[in-house]
């Protein structure tokens, strides 16, 4: 890991805490940028979009399971409904 990346992560932890709150980080990014998503859009919606597009592009369901951190394949299989 580069020294610059380590410094950025440490700065983030000092200012915003660990990288575990994706919704909070998503909202902070929206406030810090000019990104203006449609009403009701959330980071979880983007996760579903990624999953569907990954599968439509030929991604393997087991790989998707690992990327998304699902404990069971059945959770990842739900993404097929959107693909």
Distance between CA 74 and CA 32 in Å, rounded?
A: 36
Residue 18 DSSP class: -
Tell me the DSSP string of 23-78: HHHHHHHHHHSS--PPTT--HHHHHHHHHHHHHHTT--HHHHHHHHT-SSHHHHHG
Q: Which domain holds residue 21?
A: 3-32
Residue 49 lies in a domain: yes
pLDDT confidence of residue 4:
84
H or E element at residue 13:
helix 3-16
pLDDT digits (tens, 9 = 90+) for 18-40: 655 567 777 787 788 887 777 77
Confirm whether 37 is domain-assigned: no
Residue 55 shares a structural domain with residue 77: yes
Instruction: Report the domain count for the chain.
Output: 2
pLDDT score for 35: 75
Q: In terms of domains, do 25 and 54 share one?
A: no
Predicted model pTM: 0.52
Owner of token pair 């709150």 = 21
């Amino acid at each position: 890991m580069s020294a610059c990346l380590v410094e950025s992560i440490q700065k983030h932890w000092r200012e915003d805490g660990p990288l575990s709150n994706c919704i909070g980080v998503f909202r902070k990014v929206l406030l810090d940028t000019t990104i203006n998503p449609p009403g009701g859009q959330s980071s979880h919606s983007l996760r579903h979009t990624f999953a569907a597009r990954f599968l439509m592009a030929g991604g393997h369901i087991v790989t998707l399971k690992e990327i998304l951190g699902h404990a069971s394949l059945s959770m990842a299989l739900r993404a097929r409904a959107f693909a």
